[in-house]
């Protein structure tokens, strides 16, 4: 896997930059300091939205993981602030996580940022 030069920078200096593909210019620059370093984690996982009232399992594909959270792709629409319980075994301090951000990719898939609860 190719690594960008940004992978070699201290964690505090890493940024996320959005580009306008037509003009090649930055649309805006968002500084994104991370508490924990992320590791690639391409695994299929199962989760439940409300383990106390339903036993319906949903599937997702994890993108990366850190000590504080998980990023995944899912076809299930979730809401910011919603709590999910991960039923798959993952290398994390908790099996419960809160949805912190959502990016709708298309009519079928979402990219979700989760923060583990302690």
DSSP for the chain, written as a single string: ----GGGGS-GGG-EEEEE-TTT--EEEEEE---SS--EE---EEEEES-TTT----EEEEEEEE-SSEEEEEESS---TT-EEEE-S--SSS-SEEEEEEEEE-SSS-EEEEEEE--
Query: In this structure, is residue 24 part of a structural domain?
Result: no
Given this model, what pLDDT does residue 4 score?
A: 42
Determine the structural domain holding residue 48 and report its residue range.
Answer: 39-116
Given this model, what pLDDT does residue 36 score?
A: 76
Query: In this structure, is residue 32 part of a structural domain?
Result: no
| CATH number assigned to the domain comprising residue 49 | 2.40.10.220
Query: In this structure, is residue 58 part of a structural domain?
Result: yes
Query: In this structure, is residue 107 part of a structural domain?
Result: yes
> For the chain, how many structural domains are there in total?
1
Query: In this structure, is residue 95 part of a structural domain?
Result: yes
Query: In this structure, is residue 21 part of a structural domain?
Result: no
Query: Would you write out the chain's pLDDT as a tens digit for each of its 118 residues?
Result: 444 444 444 433 334 444 444 555 545 544 455 677 888 999 999 999 987 777 789 999 999 999 999 999 999 999 999 999 999 999 998 999 999 999 999 999 999 999 999 7
Q: Strands 58-65 and 39-40: what pairing?
A: antiparallel
Query: In this structure, is residue 82 part of a structural domain?
Result: yes
């Amino acid at each position: 896997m190719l690594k960008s030069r940004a992978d070699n920078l201290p964690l505090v200096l890493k940024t996320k930059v959005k580009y306008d593909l037509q003009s090649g210019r930055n649309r805006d620059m968002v500084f994104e300091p991370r508490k924990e370093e992320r590791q690639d984690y391409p695994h299929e996982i199962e989760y439940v939205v409300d383990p106390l009232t339903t036993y319906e399992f949903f599937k997702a594909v994890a993108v990366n993981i850190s000590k504080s959270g998980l990023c995944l792709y899912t076809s299930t629409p979730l809401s910011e602030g919603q709590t999910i319980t991960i039923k798959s075994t993952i290398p994390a301090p908790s099996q419960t996580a809160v949805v912190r951000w959502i990016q709708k990719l298309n009519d079928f898939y979402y990219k979700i940022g989760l923060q583990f609860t302690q």
